[in-house]
Structures are given as C-alpha cells and as structure tokens.
Structure 1
Amino acid sequence: MARSVQQLAVAGIIVVVALLVAASPAVTAVTCGQVVNMLAPCVRYAMGGVQTPPGTCCDGVRSLSAAARSTADRQTTCNCLKQQTSGMGGLKPSIVAGIPAKCNVNVPYAISLSTDCSKVR
C-alpha cells in the first residue's frame, strides 16, 4: 500500500511539473527571416532614396531591438545584417550605420560589415 501511495505521489509530481513546463512561455530565437522582414522598410532609406527613415522602418528597428534580448539573438541579428547587406548593391554604409540613431534606438554594436559579430554581447 505504501508503495502505491509513493508511486501516485511521484506520478502527481511528474504531472504538475509537465503542466508547469507546458504553461511556460516558449522562448523563441530571432531568425534571419524575422530580421529581414522587420528591416525591409528601411532599404529605400538605406539607399539614399528618401531623406528620413519611414515610420515603418523605425517600427521594425524598435521591434527587432526588443526581440533581440539575448547575446545569441544579437549575434544572429548582426550576422544576418552583414550577410544581407553584403549582397545588396546600392546601400550606403554611413546611412545604414545611422538608422538606429535616426530611429532613437540604442544598438549595442556598430552596424558595419567590419563588425565582429562573435564579440557582440
């Protein structure tokens, strides 16, 4: 009898732990696809096509900054930016580097092809 009570107690604990884990919010990492989607409205500005970044660009920069909370997320974002911008002709590096400041967003690393993303924290 004591053994069955013990087994029920263990089973109950396992069920409670499983429910807590299932109820925990899922931790999702920032993907390069998300980075591209959030910053796509900035491309025209980054090419010098307009004088100020559009509101949708700044909204994307703010959203990305809020989403990239961990070191891994910031490194993914950095690597994605480097990968995507290196293949796009017409981007003006000085404009690209200044987008966060124009949108009043603090980015803890330089937006540049020369940035070592492995050192981004």
Structure 2
Amino acid sequence: MKLQVVALLLVLVLLLVPLASSSSNEITCSDVIGYLRPCEEYLTAESGSKPSESCCEGANALKSAAITQQDRIAACECIKTVAKSIKLNPQNAHDLPSNCGITLPFEISPTLDCSK
C-alpha cells in the first residue's frame, strides 16, 4: 500500500512538472523565429524594400512578447544566431523597426552584444 502511494505521488509529480514549466511565459527561440519568419524575405532583400504587413505584425508581437530582461536576452541571442545563418541585409535589418513604426529593445544583427 505504501509503495502504491509513493508510485502515485511520483506519477502526479511527473505529470505536473510539464505544466509548471509551460506556465512560465519565457520566450523561446522558436517563438522568436515564428514572430520574425514573415520578415525573412525583407531581411534578405535588396536595400530600399519595405517590410510586409505580416512582418511588421510579427516584429510588433515579438516586442510585446519580450517583456522581461531575460526574454529580451533570449530573443537577442536567438536573433544573433539566426542572423549568422542567413544572408542578412544589414541596412534592412537596421531599418525594420522604423519601417514598421515600432522600437525594439535590440537590433537584428549577427554582431549583437546581448548582455546590454
């Protein structure tokens, strides 16, 4: 009987751990990529192009999601990693926030210092 109670408690703990970790609202790299995926064409295009409405919506959603310093650092690190793997147009990346009428707490660049 005692072993059954311990086993039942262990099962309950194992079932509740994913719920506890998913209740935190920490931003993930998958979230960041999802927000900025509509911007890929713009970020790799020739200078002078304009971001799509869906790109601006995604960038604004990222801004709204990255509310804590930890979120902003995580988003920054993700952007830095992804920016190194695509042929990023630095001017378009720099202009994205202003072209969308928003401010971001970080740049989109492969050379970011995410500690600041």
Q: Same fold, TM exceeding 0.5?
A: yes
Is the partner of 2:109 in helix, strand or coil? Answer: coil
Residue identity over aligned pairs, in percent, reads 32
TM-score, normalised to structure 2's length?
A: 0.73
Structure 2 residue 28 is matched with structure 1 residue 36: no
Structure 2 residue 38 is matched with structure 1 residue 47: no
Deviations 1:76-106 (A, max 9, x none): 0100001011011x22111112111111111
Pair member with larger Rg = 1
> 87, 96, 99: which is aligned to 2:93?
96
Offset at 1:27? 3.4
Q: Does the 8 Å CA contact 2:32/2:62 hold for their aligned counterparts?
A: yes
Segments of structure 1 that go 5 or more residues without pairing to the other structure are 1-25
Which one-letter code corresponds to 2:95 in the other structure? G
TM-score, normalised to structure 1's length?
A: 0.71
Segments of structure 2 that go 5 or more residues without pairing to the other structure are 1-22
Runs (4 or more) in structure 1 with deviation over 4 Å come to none
- Give the equivalent residue in structure 2 for 1:58: 56
Root mean square deviation, CA, Å: 1.6
